[in-house]
Amino acid sequence: MSSSNVMETYARLPVAFASGEGAVLVDTQGRQYLDAVAGVAVCGLGHAHPAVTEAVCDQAGRLVHTSNLYGIPLQEEVAAELARISGLERVFFANSGAEANEAAIKLARRFGHEKGIERPEIVVMQGSFHGRTLATLTATGNRKVQAGFEPLLPGFKRVPYDDLEAVERVGSESTVAVLVEPIQGEGGVVVPDPGYLAGLRRICDERGWLLMLDEVQTGMGRTGAWMAFQHSGIRPDVVTLAKALGNGVPVGAALATAEAAAVLGPGSHATTFGGNPLAMAAARAVIGTIEAEGLVERAAETGEYLMDRLRETVGARPEAREIRGRGLMIGIEMEADLSELVPRALEHGLLINVTAGTVIRLLPPLVLTREQADRIVEGLSYLLGEAL
Ligand SMILES: Cc1ncc(COP(=O)(O)O)c(C=O)c1O
């Protein structure tokens, strides 16, 4: 049995970091690593970005928390910024992606009850990931996440991802919403057909359902747009964000159109910490910095460059099945055993992630330089050459 007092819910790699700057992390022994994970799509601005550090330090010196019993002017400011960049007018602030999705699920159920639907159902996807709370793990399309935590919640209907007909077929009198990732992250960086979101929008409009997008991983510039749905020219009813919104300070948000948000009145949903001044100061700094440094455009450009270079190199290997993604959310699907790749990359000074068993997932900070992108390509080429 381990001597650690921390519950053993994580299989951790044998490294701990002491500091970082941009896309570089330094471990407790002083060794440097190039970070192509960014805290799982969290540190979009890179590590220790001075704008976030300054905002958090300044706010911590004045006021950290007061609760949602009182007005929080910074919440108003961040909500206005989120409304501006997303086109959705209302925001509920939470502390994580799972919580943001819980808020969305509750909103959808309320929406159903207001229409007289007693047992509302939400359409969710195979291969999806929405979090580890009971409602969000029920919505998640991965048995490993659910196993041992039954009974799961009622009120979810699952269909294959990127299959519009399946959504039409599964719909019933009780359906109230579709919850979907614009690109599946944990599921293996699965990019749907370019018409998929527009197709879902059409179905939802025809049937009076809410279209709810989980942008926890894809949001805040990662795919080369503020939100991934903006590539499709549609307007969803609900969008959830977390991860990169605070660059590491825990903050989540459920955004909704004014019409959809109207079903959640005073007393209907709440959280103690959500949207506290510290988290809001971080989120305000993140949005301002993404804009000031042009990081949405940069993610698009660096992502295209990285994807092209990966296709020329890693993509030419016989085991490479597909290189896909958008912006700086890139998946490299391999027909090979990748179980040793992550620890070997770590030894080599490169942080990468493998998801869905066969997909190398790259989620570097949006501030990644071309030179660092080249180093990711060279590192991966070398490691795959050695390993396979
Ligand atoms: C698409 C998506 N939704 C929800 C979550 C859950 O977020 P959190 O771990 O902050 O609860 C994640 C986390 O990986 C995610 O990728």
Region 125-150: mean pLDDT is 98
Judged against a pLDDT cut of 70, whether residue 126 lies above it is answered with yes
Rounded distance between C-alpha atoms, residue 254 and residue 237, angstroms: 10
Ligand 1 center to residue 23 CA distance, Å?
A: 21
| Ligand 1 pocket residue status of 215, Cβ below 6 Å | no
Query: How does the average pLDDT of the chain come out, rounded?
Result: 97
Peptide bond into 151 cis (omega under 30): yes
Which among 187, 176, 245 has a CA at the least distance from the CA of 212? 176
Over residues 336-375, the pLDDT tens digits come to 989 999 999 999 999 999 999 999 999 999 999 999 999 9
Question: What is the reported pLDDT for 361?
Answer: 98
| Ligand 1 pocket residue status of 98, Cβ below 6 Å | yes
Residues 6+ apart with CB under 8 A from 20: 26, 35, 43, 46, 47, 48
Which among 352, 312, 354 has a CA at the least distance from the CA of 337? 354
Region 46-57: mean pLDDT is 98
Question: What is the reported pLDDT for 118?
Answer: 97
Q: Give the residue numbers annotated as catalytic, written as ranges.
A: 129, 214, 243
Q: How confident is the model at residue 333 (pLDDT cuts 50, 70, 90)?
A: very high
The minimum-distance atom of ligand 1 relative to the CA of 133 is: 11
Question: What is the reported pLDDT for 388?
Answer: 61
Whole-model pTM?
Answer: 0.98
Judged against a pLDDT cut of 80, whether residue 294 lies above it is answered with yes
| Ligand 1 pocket residue status of 129, Cβ below 6 Å | yes
Region 40-45: mean pLDDT is 98
Q: How confident is the model at residue 386 (pLDDT cuts 50, 70, 90)?
A: confident
Question: What is the reported pLDDT for 384?
Answer: 94
Ligand 1 center to residue 96 CA distance, Å?
A: 7
Residues above pLDDT 90, as percent of the chain: 97
Shortest-distance Cα residue to atom 8 of ligand 1: 97
Ligand 1 center to residue 124 CA distance, Å?
A: 15
Sign of CA dihedral 285, 287, 293, 299: positive
Region 288-315: mean pLDDT is 98
Shortest-distance Cα residue to atom 16 of ligand 1: 217
Report the DSSP beta bridge partners of residue 361.
331, 353
Judged against a pLDDT cut of 80, whether residue 331 lies above it is answered with yes
Q: How confident is the model at residue 2 (pLDDT cuts 50, 70, 90)?
A: confident
Region 274-296: mean pLDDT is 98
Region 165-175: mean pLDDT is 98
Asked whether 160 and 151 are in contact (CB, 8 A), the reply is: no
Over residues 217-231, the pLDDT tens digits come to 999 999 999 999 999
Judged against a pLDDT cut of 70, whether residue 167 lies above it is answered with yes
Q: HEC profile for the chain?
A: CCCCCCCCCCCCCCCCEEEEEECEEEECCCCEEEECCHHHHCCCCCECCHHHHHHHHHHHCCCCCCCCCCCCHHHHHHHHHHHHHHCCCEEEEECCHHHHHHHHHHHHHHHHHHCCCCCCEEEEECCCCCCCCHHHHHHCCCHHHHCCCCCCCCCEEEECCCCHHHHHHHCCCCEEEEEECCCECCCCCECCCCCHHHHHHHHHHHHCCEEEEECCCCCCCCCCCCCHHHHCCCCCCEEEECHHHCCCCCCEEEEECHHHHCCCCCCCCCCCCCCCHHHHHHHHHHHHHHHHCCHHHHHHHHHHHHHHHHHHCHHHCCCEEEEEEECCEEEEEECCCCCCHHHHHHHCCEECEEECCCEEEECCCCCCCHHHHHHHHHHHHHHHHHHC
Which among 309, 297, 291 has a CA at the least distance from the CA of 362? 309
Rounded distance between C-alpha atoms, residue 197 and residue 212, angstroms: 11
Asked whether 225 and 329 are in contact (CB, 8 A), the reply is: no
Over residues 189-213, the pLDDT tens digits come to 999 999 999 999 999 999 999 999 9
The minimum-distance atom of ligand 1 relative to the CA of 128 is: 1
Rounded distance between C-alpha atoms, residue 266 and residue 173, angstroms: 28
Question: What is the reported pLDDT for 387?
Answer: 65
Rounded distance between C-alpha atoms, residue 215 and residue 87, angstroms: 14
Question: What is the reported pLDDT for 114?
Answer: 98
Ligand 1 center to residue 241 CA distance, Å?
A: 9
| Ligand 1 pocket residue status of 130, Cβ below 6 Å | yes
